[in-house]
C-alpha cells in the first residue's frame, strides 16, 4: 500500500509539472513579407565581356607575393525597377564555383590541360575584401535603378608547395539577390 502511495505521488507530481509546462506556452507569431517585382535588373559584366584575361605572372613572383597583379572588372546592374510598386532597393552578389583544395574561399584552377598547380583564383571587392566562394557579398544600393560594382580578380598561391607553371582557368557563376 505504501508502494502504491509513493507511485501515485510520483505520477501526480509529474502530471503537475506537465500541466505547468502547458500553461507556460505563449502564442507567438512570425510575419513574413516580401515584394514581387515585374522584372529584375539587367546584369552586365565588363560591358558584356564574360571572359576576363588575367595576364601572366611568373612562378617566382607568385611565390614571393602570394597574389598576382590585380585585374579590375565591374559588374553593372541597370534597368532596375523603381517606383512604388516592385521597387528593388538593394542587391547582393554571390560568386560560386568549385572551391580550391587548400583555401575554400578561393576558386579552383580548372584549366583542362597541364594546369598550373598550387594556384587558385581569388575575387576581391573594391576595398580588398575577399569575396568568399558561395558567400553573399555586401549590400549594393540600386534604388536609383542602376549601380556599378567594381571587383578585382587575382591569381593566388594556394597550399604550402611552390606553384608550378601552366594555364589558369576557372568558371565562376554569380547570383544576384534583390530586396
What are the pLDDT digits (tens) for 87-97?
788 999 999 99
For the cut 70, the answer to whether the pLDDT of residue 1 exceeds it is no
- Predicted pLDDT at 63: 86
For the cut 70, the answer to whether the pLDDT of residue 18 exceeds it is no
Compute the distance between CA of residue 30 and CA of residue 137 in angstroms, rounded to an integer: 27
Q: In the chain, pLDDT over 70 holds for what percent of residues?
A: 79
- Which has more confidence, 112 or 39? 112
CB within 8 A of 119, min separation 6: which ones? 62, 109, 155, 156, 157, 158, 163, 164, 168
Would the pTM of this model clear 0.85, i.e. be above it? no
What are the pLDDT digits (tens) for 117-136?
999 999 999 999 999 999 99
For 89, list phi and psi in degrees, rounded to 5.
Answer: -110, -25
For the cut 70, the answer to whether the pLDDT of residue 67 exceeds it is yes
To which CATH superfamily is domain 42-178 assigned? Fimbrial-type adhesion domain (2.60.40.1090)
Compute the distance between CA of residue 34 and CA of residue 22 in angstroms, rounded to an integer: 34
- Which has more confidence, 38 or 97? 97
Compute the distance between CA of residue 135 and CA of residue 91 in angstroms, rounded to an integer: 14
Amino acid at each position: 500500500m505504501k508502494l502504491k502511495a509513493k507511485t501515485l505521488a510520483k505520477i501526480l507530481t509529474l502530471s503537475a509539472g506537465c500541466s505547468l509546462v502547458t500553461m507556460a506556452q505563449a502564442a507567438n507569431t512570425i510575419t513574413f513579407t516580401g515584394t514581387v517585382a515585374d522584372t529584375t535588373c539587367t546584369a552586365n559584366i565588363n560591358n558584356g565581356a564574360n571572359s576576363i584575361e588575367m595576364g601572366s605572372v611568373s612562378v617566382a613572383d607568385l611565390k614571393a607575393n602570394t597574389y598576382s597583379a590585380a585585374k579590375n572588372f565591374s559588374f553593372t546592374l541597370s534597368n532596375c525597377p523603381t517606383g512604388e510598386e516592385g521597387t528593388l532597393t538593394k542587391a547582393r552578389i554571390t560568386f560560386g564555383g568549385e572551391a580550391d583544395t587548400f583555401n575554400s574561399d578561393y576558386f579552383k584552377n580548372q584549366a583542362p590541360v597541364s594546369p598550373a598547380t598550387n594556384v587558385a583564383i581569388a575575387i576581391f571587392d573594391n576595398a580588398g575584401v575577399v569575396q568568399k566562394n558561395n558567400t553573399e557579398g555586401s549590400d549594393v544600393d540600386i534604388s536609383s535603378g542602376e549601380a556599378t560594382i567594381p571587383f578585382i580578380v587575382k591569381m593566388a598561391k594556394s597550399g604550402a608547395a611552390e606553384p608550378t607553371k601552366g594555364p589558369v582557368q576557372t568558371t565562376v557563376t554569380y547570383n544576384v539577390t534583390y530586396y
